[in-house]
Amino acid sequence: MIVAFLNQKGGVGKTTLATQIAGELALRGQHVILLDADPQGSSLDWTQRRSQQGLPRLFSAVGLARETLHQEAPELARRADHVIIDGPPRIAALARSALLAAERVLIPVQPSPYDVWASAEMVALIREAQVFRPALRAAFVINRRVSTTIIGREARQSLAEQPLPALRAEVRRGAPAHRLRRQRGRWSACTRDCAGQRSCARDRRAGGRTAAVADMTAKQPPRGKRVGIGVRPPANPHAEAWIRQGDADALNKGDLYTARLTLDVTPALRARIKIVAFGQGVTVAKLLRGLLEREFPDKRPENLP
Protein backbone atom coordinates (compact mmCIF):
# COMPACT_ATOMS: atom_id res chain seq x y z
CA MET A 1 0.00 0.00 0.00
CA ILE A 2 1.15 3.53 -0.76
CA VAL A 3 0.19 5.95 2.03
CA ALA A 4 0.89 9.69 1.85
CA PHE A 5 0.93 12.11 4.78
CA LEU A 6 -0.06 15.44 3.28
CA ASN A 7 -1.12 18.87 4.41
CA GLN A 8 -0.38 22.20 2.78
CA LYS A 9 0.16 23.66 6.24
CA GLY A 10 3.58 23.13 7.78
CA GLY A 11 4.33 22.00 11.32
CA VAL A 12 1.33 19.70 11.72
CA GLY A 13 3.36 16.50 12.17
CA LYS A 14 3.61 14.98 8.69
CA THR A 15 7.24 13.91 9.09
CA THR A 16 6.70 12.74 12.64
CA LEU A 17 3.76 10.53 11.76
CA ALA A 18 5.31 9.27 8.53
CA THR A 19 8.45 8.07 10.31
CA GLN A 20 6.44 6.66 13.22
CA ILE A 21 4.14 4.63 10.99
CA ALA A 22 7.06 3.45 8.86
CA GLY A 23 8.92 2.37 11.99
CA GLU A 24 5.92 0.58 13.47
CA LEU A 25 5.25 -1.33 10.26
CA ALA A 26 8.92 -2.28 10.05
CA LEU A 27 8.88 -3.54 13.64
CA ARG A 28 5.96 -5.75 12.63
CA GLY A 29 8.14 -7.44 10.04
CA GLN A 30 6.94 -5.47 7.00
CA HIS A 31 9.28 -4.26 4.28
CA VAL A 32 8.81 -0.49 4.23
CA ILE A 33 10.18 2.27 2.00
CA LEU A 34 9.86 5.87 3.17
CA LEU A 35 9.78 8.47 0.38
CA ASP A 36 10.84 11.92 1.54
CA ALA A 37 9.00 14.26 -0.81
CA ASP A 38 9.81 17.35 1.25
CA PRO A 39 12.73 19.41 -0.14
CA GLN A 40 13.80 20.06 3.47
CA GLY A 41 14.65 16.36 3.75
CA SER A 42 13.67 15.98 7.41
CA SER A 43 12.87 12.27 7.11
CA LEU A 44 16.22 11.57 5.48
CA ASP A 45 17.97 13.55 8.22
CA TRP A 46 16.14 11.47 10.83
CA THR A 47 17.28 8.16 9.33
CA GLN A 48 20.85 9.45 9.02
CA ARG A 49 20.89 10.47 12.69
CA ARG A 50 19.82 6.97 13.65
CA SER A 51 22.71 5.50 11.65
CA GLN A 52 25.17 7.96 13.20
CA GLN A 53 24.02 6.86 16.65
CA GLY A 54 24.63 3.22 15.76
CA LEU A 55 20.93 2.36 15.76
CA PRO A 56 19.58 -0.26 13.34
CA ARG A 57 18.02 0.81 10.08
CA LEU A 58 14.33 0.03 10.37
CA PHE A 59 13.35 0.87 6.80
CA SER A 60 14.73 2.26 3.56
CA ALA A 61 14.48 6.01 2.98
CA VAL A 62 14.64 7.67 -0.44
CA GLY A 63 14.60 11.37 -1.29
CA LEU A 64 12.03 11.92 -4.04
CA ALA A 65 11.02 15.58 -3.94
CA ARG A 66 10.09 15.90 -7.59
CA GLU A 67 6.97 16.08 -9.70
CA THR A 68 7.48 12.59 -11.14
CA LEU A 69 6.69 11.02 -7.78
CA HIS A 70 3.45 9.51 -9.09
CA GLN A 71 5.40 7.71 -11.80
CA GLU A 72 8.27 6.47 -9.64
CA ALA A 73 6.46 5.45 -6.45
CA PRO A 74 4.66 2.46 -8.06
CA GLU A 75 8.01 1.11 -9.25
CA LEU A 76 9.39 1.29 -5.71
CA ALA A 77 6.21 -0.30 -4.35
CA ARG A 78 7.07 -3.48 -6.22
CA ARG A 79 9.94 -4.00 -3.77
CA ALA A 80 8.05 -3.35 -0.55
CA ASP A 81 4.96 -4.20 1.45
CA HIS A 82 4.28 -0.53 2.11
CA VAL A 83 5.47 2.81 0.78
CA ILE A 84 5.08 5.81 3.10
CA ILE A 85 5.27 9.29 1.56
CA ASP A 86 6.31 12.23 3.74
CA GLY A 87 4.70 15.06 1.81
CA PRO A 88 5.80 18.68 1.40
CA PRO A 89 4.12 21.83 2.72
CA ARG A 90 3.11 24.64 0.40
CA ILE A 91 4.43 23.02 -2.80
CA ALA A 92 1.26 22.28 -4.72
CA ALA A 93 2.86 20.47 -7.67
CA LEU A 94 4.62 17.96 -5.40
CA ALA A 95 1.45 17.48 -3.36
CA ARG A 96 -0.58 16.80 -6.50
CA SER A 97 1.99 14.26 -7.70
CA ALA A 98 1.90 12.55 -4.30
CA LEU A 99 -1.90 12.39 -4.48
CA LEU A 100 -1.76 10.55 -7.79
CA ALA A 101 0.86 8.18 -6.37
CA ALA A 102 -1.02 7.30 -3.18
CA GLU A 103 -3.79 4.84 -2.42
CA ARG A 104 -4.47 6.35 1.01
CA VAL A 105 -3.92 9.91 2.20
CA LEU A 106 -3.74 10.89 5.86
CA ILE A 107 -4.04 14.60 6.66
CA PRO A 108 -2.47 15.42 10.04
CA VAL A 109 -4.20 18.29 11.82
CA GLN A 110 -3.63 19.80 15.23
CA PRO A 111 -6.67 20.58 17.37
CA SER A 112 -6.88 24.26 16.56
CA PRO A 113 -9.42 26.25 14.54
CA TYR A 114 -6.68 27.53 12.24
CA ASP A 115 -5.44 24.02 11.41
CA VAL A 116 -8.95 22.86 10.56
CA TRP A 117 -9.56 25.96 8.46
CA ALA A 118 -6.21 25.64 6.66
CA SER A 119 -6.93 22.02 5.74
CA ALA A 120 -9.62 23.14 3.27
CA GLU A 121 -6.98 23.64 0.59
CA MET A 122 -5.78 20.05 1.00
CA VAL A 123 -9.35 18.74 0.84
CA ALA A 124 -9.86 20.63 -2.43
CA LEU A 125 -6.71 19.07 -3.91
CA ILE A 126 -7.90 15.61 -2.90
CA ARG A 127 -11.26 16.16 -4.58
CA GLU A 128 -9.46 17.18 -7.75
CA ALA A 129 -7.14 14.16 -7.57
CA GLN A 130 -10.14 11.84 -7.27
CA VAL A 131 -11.13 12.85 -10.79
CA PHE A 132 -8.02 11.02 -11.97
CA ARG A 133 -7.91 8.48 -9.13
CA PRO A 134 -11.52 7.66 -8.12
CA ALA A 135 -10.34 4.94 -5.72
CA LEU A 136 -8.20 7.37 -3.71
CA ARG A 137 -9.26 7.43 -0.04
CA ALA A 138 -8.39 10.13 2.46
CA ALA A 139 -8.95 10.89 6.13
CA PHE A 140 -7.86 13.31 8.83
CA VAL A 141 -5.71 12.19 11.74
CA ILE A 142 -5.74 14.33 14.88
CA ASN A 143 -2.21 15.00 16.10
CA ARG A 144 -0.94 16.47 19.39
CA ARG A 145 -4.32 16.49 21.04
CA VAL A 146 -4.46 17.59 24.67
CA SER A 147 -7.46 15.80 26.13
CA THR A 148 -7.67 18.05 29.20
CA THR A 149 -8.39 21.19 27.16
CA ILE A 150 -11.69 22.32 25.68
CA ILE A 151 -10.18 22.80 22.24
CA GLY A 152 -8.73 19.31 22.40
CA ARG A 153 -12.12 17.82 23.18
CA GLU A 154 -13.79 19.84 20.42
CA ALA A 155 -11.28 18.88 17.73
CA ARG A 156 -13.20 15.88 16.50
CA GLN A 157 -16.46 17.83 16.48
CA SER A 158 -14.86 20.48 14.26
CA LEU A 159 -13.60 17.86 11.82
CA ALA A 160 -17.06 16.30 11.62
CA GLU A 161 -18.09 19.34 9.58
CA GLN A 162 -15.43 18.56 6.95
CA PRO A 163 -16.22 16.52 3.81
CA LEU A 164 -13.62 13.88 4.72
CA PRO A 165 -13.78 11.50 7.70
CA ALA A 166 -11.36 11.48 10.64
CA LEU A 167 -9.64 8.36 11.90
CA ARG A 168 -10.85 7.08 15.25
CA ALA A 169 -7.21 6.80 16.31
CA GLU A 170 -5.49 10.00 17.39
CA VAL A 171 -2.09 11.04 18.72
CA ARG A 172 -2.09 12.75 22.08
CA ARG A 173 0.46 15.28 23.18
CA GLY A 174 2.96 14.07 25.75
CA ALA A 175 6.03 15.33 27.52
CA PRO A 176 8.35 17.89 25.88
CA ALA A 177 11.37 16.52 24.06
CA HIS A 178 13.95 17.82 26.55
CA ARG A 179 12.16 16.05 29.41
CA LEU A 180 12.07 12.80 27.47
CA ARG A 181 15.80 13.08 26.83
CA ARG A 182 16.55 13.52 30.53
CA GLN A 183 14.26 10.73 31.64
CA ARG A 184 14.93 8.16 28.92
CA GLY A 185 18.50 8.93 27.96
CA ARG A 186 19.44 7.86 24.49
CA TRP A 187 16.39 7.47 22.26
CA SER A 188 16.53 3.98 20.84
CA ALA A 189 12.98 3.35 19.63
CA CYS A 190 11.62 4.99 16.54
CA THR A 191 8.97 6.94 18.42
CA ARG A 192 11.39 8.47 20.91
CA ASP A 193 12.84 10.64 18.19
CA CYS A 194 9.58 12.55 17.99
CA ALA A 195 9.42 15.72 20.08
CA GLY A 196 6.19 16.16 21.98
CA GLN A 197 4.77 12.70 21.27
CA ARG A 198 4.08 9.84 23.62
CA SER A 199 6.53 7.00 23.91
CA CYS A 200 6.02 3.84 21.88
CA ALA A 201 4.62 1.96 24.88
CA ARG A 202 2.19 4.72 25.84
CA ASP A 203 0.97 5.01 22.27
CA ARG A 204 0.24 1.28 22.27
CA ARG A 205 -1.70 1.54 25.52
CA ALA A 206 -3.68 4.49 24.17
CA GLY A 207 -4.41 2.54 21.02
CA GLY A 208 -3.60 5.54 18.84
CA ARG A 209 -0.79 4.71 16.50
CA THR A 210 -1.38 0.96 16.63
CA ALA A 211 -5.01 1.46 15.64
CA ALA A 212 -3.96 3.71 12.78
CA VAL A 213 -1.54 1.08 11.51
CA ALA A 214 -4.20 -1.61 11.77
CA ASP A 215 -6.65 0.56 9.84
CA MET A 216 -4.14 1.16 7.05
CA THR A 217 -2.98 -2.42 6.70
CA ALA A 218 -6.33 -4.19 7.08
CA LYS A 219 -7.30 -6.61 4.33
CA GLN A 220 -4.02 -6.17 2.47
CA PRO A 221 -3.02 -9.23 0.41
CA PRO A 222 0.46 -10.64 1.03
CA ARG A 223 3.42 -9.26 -0.84
CA GLY A 224 3.81 -10.74 -4.29
CA LYS A 225 0.07 -11.33 -4.68
CA ARG A 226 -1.16 -7.77 -4.82
CA VAL A 227 -2.94 -6.61 -7.93
CA GLY A 228 -2.16 -3.27 -9.51
CA ILE A 229 0.64 -2.35 -7.10
CA GLY A 230 4.00 -1.48 -8.58
CA VAL A 231 2.63 -0.92 -12.07
CA ARG A 232 3.60 2.42 -13.59
CA PRO A 233 0.34 4.24 -14.47
CA PRO A 234 -0.18 5.15 -18.10
CA ALA A 235 0.84 8.66 -19.07
CA ASN A 236 -2.10 11.04 -19.02
CA PRO A 237 -1.47 14.50 -20.47
CA HIS A 238 -4.32 16.05 -18.49
CA ALA A 239 -3.10 14.57 -15.21
CA GLU A 240 0.40 15.87 -15.96
CA ALA A 241 -1.02 19.33 -16.71
CA TRP A 242 -2.93 19.26 -13.44
CA ILE A 243 0.22 18.33 -11.51
CA ARG A 244 2.40 21.02 -13.06
CA GLN A 245 -0.06 23.89 -13.27
CA GLY A 246 -3.17 22.92 -11.33
CA ASP A 247 -5.01 23.22 -14.63
CA ALA A 248 -8.71 23.20 -13.76
CA ASP A 249 -9.58 22.57 -17.41
CA ALA A 250 -7.82 19.22 -17.21
CA LEU A 251 -10.41 18.06 -14.70
CA ASN A 252 -13.15 18.41 -17.29
CA LYS A 253 -11.47 16.51 -20.10
CA GLY A 254 -13.11 13.29 -21.18
CA ASP A 255 -9.96 11.24 -21.72
CA LEU A 256 -8.92 10.77 -18.10
CA TYR A 257 -7.98 7.37 -16.69
CA THR A 258 -10.51 5.01 -18.26
CA ALA A 259 -11.37 1.32 -18.36
CA ARG A 260 -12.38 -0.44 -21.56
CA LEU A 261 -15.84 -2.04 -21.73
CA THR A 262 -16.46 -4.52 -24.56
CA LEU A 263 -19.80 -6.12 -25.44
CA ASP A 264 -21.33 -7.93 -28.39
CA VAL A 265 -24.52 -6.69 -30.10
CA THR A 266 -26.47 -7.81 -33.11
CA PRO A 267 -25.75 -6.16 -36.48
CA ALA A 268 -29.25 -4.67 -36.48
CA LEU A 269 -28.75 -3.06 -33.06
CA ARG A 270 -25.35 -1.74 -34.09
CA ALA A 271 -26.93 -0.14 -37.16
CA ARG A 272 -29.64 1.54 -35.07
CA ILE A 273 -27.04 2.90 -32.65
CA LYS A 274 -25.01 4.36 -35.51
CA ILE A 275 -28.09 6.00 -36.99
CA VAL A 276 -28.98 7.65 -33.68
CA ALA A 277 -25.38 8.81 -33.14
CA PHE A 278 -25.27 10.27 -36.66
CA GLY A 279 -28.54 12.08 -36.06
CA GLN A 280 -27.16 13.66 -32.86
CA GLY A 281 -23.86 14.57 -34.49
CA VAL A 282 -21.75 12.56 -32.01
CA THR A 283 -19.61 9.46 -32.17
CA VAL A 284 -21.00 6.07 -31.17
CA ALA A 285 -18.60 5.98 -28.21
CA LYS A 286 -19.77 9.37 -26.91
CA LEU A 287 -23.41 8.39 -27.35
CA LEU A 288 -22.96 5.16 -25.40
CA ARG A 289 -20.94 6.86 -22.65
CA GLY A 290 -23.74 9.37 -22.19
CA LEU A 291 -26.34 6.59 -21.96
CA LEU A 292 -24.28 4.72 -19.37
CA GLU A 293 -23.62 7.84 -17.29
CA ARG A 294 -27.35 8.62 -17.17
CA GLU A 295 -28.23 5.04 -16.29
CA PHE A 296 -25.47 4.69 -13.69
CA PRO A 297 -24.99 8.13 -12.05
CA ASP A 298 -22.15 8.73 -9.63
CA LYS A 299 -23.76 8.26 -6.21
CA ARG A 300 -20.62 8.24 -4.09
CA PRO A 301 -21.31 9.81 -0.68
CA GLU A 302 -19.68 13.08 0.17
CA ASN A 303 -17.86 11.50 3.12
CA LEU A 304 -15.79 8.90 1.34
CA PRO A 305 -14.56 6.06 3.57
Mind listing the pLDDT tens digit for each residue in 17-52?
A: 899 899 999 999 999 999 988 888 888 888 888 888
Residues 169 and 299 in one domain: no
Residues 35 and 165 in one domain: yes
Of 129 and 234, the one with more pLDDT: 129
How many structural domains are present in the chain? 2
> End of a domain among 166, 197, 217?
217
Residue 240 lies in a domain: no
Average pLDDT of the segment spanning 159-165: 82
Helix axes 14-27, 208-217, angle to 10 degrees: 70
Given a cut of 90, whether residue 82 has pLDDT beyond it is yes
When pLDDT is cut at 50, 70 and 90, the band that residue 188 belongs to is very low
Residues 12 and 156 in one domain: yes
Instruction: Write the CA distances from 65 to 34, 38, 48, 117, integer angstroms.
Output: 12, 6, 17, 26
Residues 155 and 301 in one domain: no
Given a cut of 60, whether residue 245 has pLDDT beyond it is yes
**CA-derived radius of gyration, the chain:** 22
Residues 190 and 302 in one domain: no
Residue 237 lies in a domain: no
Residue 225 lies in a domain: no
Mind listing the pLDDT tens digit for each residue in 124-155?
A: 889 888 888 888 999 988 887 766 666 666 76
Query: What value does the mean pLDDT of the chain take?
Result: 73
Residues 172 and 301 in one domain: no
Residues 171 and 114 in one domain: yes
Residue 137 β-bridge partners: 104
Residues 199 and 62 in one domain: yes
Residue 164 lies in a domain: yes
> End of a domain among 183, 217, 251?
217
pLDDT score of 147: 66
Concatenate the DSSP letters of all residues of 8-35 into one string: SSSSSSHHHHHHHHHHHHHHTT--EEEE
Residue 232 lies in a domain: no
The DSSP call for residue 193 is G
Given a cut of 90, whether residue 104 has pLDDT beyond it is yes
Residue 282 neighbours by CB under 8 Å, 6+ apart: 290
- In this structure, of 4-18, 111-125, 228-242, the range with the lowest mean pLDDT score is 228-242
Residues 30 and 154 in one domain: yes
Given a cut of 90, whether residue 304 has pLDDT beyond it is no
Residue 44 lies in a domain: yes
Residues 265 and 213 in one domain: no
Q: Looking at residue 60, which CATH number applies to its domain?
A: 3.40.50.300
For the entire predicted model, the pTM comes to 0.63
Which of 193, 163, 229, 207 has the alpha carbon at shortest distance from 1?
229
Of 83 and 181, the one with more pLDDT: 83
* Residue 295 belongs to domain spanning: 260-305
Strands annotated E in 42-151? 60-63, 82-86, 104-109, 137-145
Residues 135 and 47 in one domain: yes
Residues 292 and 209 in one domain: no
Residue 227 lies in a domain: no
Residue 139 lies in a domain: yes
Percent of the residues in the chain that have a pLDDT greater than 90, as a whole number: 11
Residue 138 β-bridge partners: 105
Which of 13-22, 48-57, 197-206 holds the top average pLDDT? Answer: 13-22
Strands annotated E in 82-205? 82-86, 104-109, 137-145, 166-172
pLDDT score of 263: 82
- In this structure, of 33-37, 52-56, 58-62, 210-214, the range with the lowest mean pLDDT score is 210-214
pLDDT score of 208: 47
Given a cut of 70, whether residue 61 has pLDDT beyond it is yes
> End of a domain among 200, 217, 234?
217
Instruction: Write the CA distances from 240 to 2, 7, 43, 138, integer angstroms.
Output: 20, 21, 26, 21
pLDDT score of 281: 83
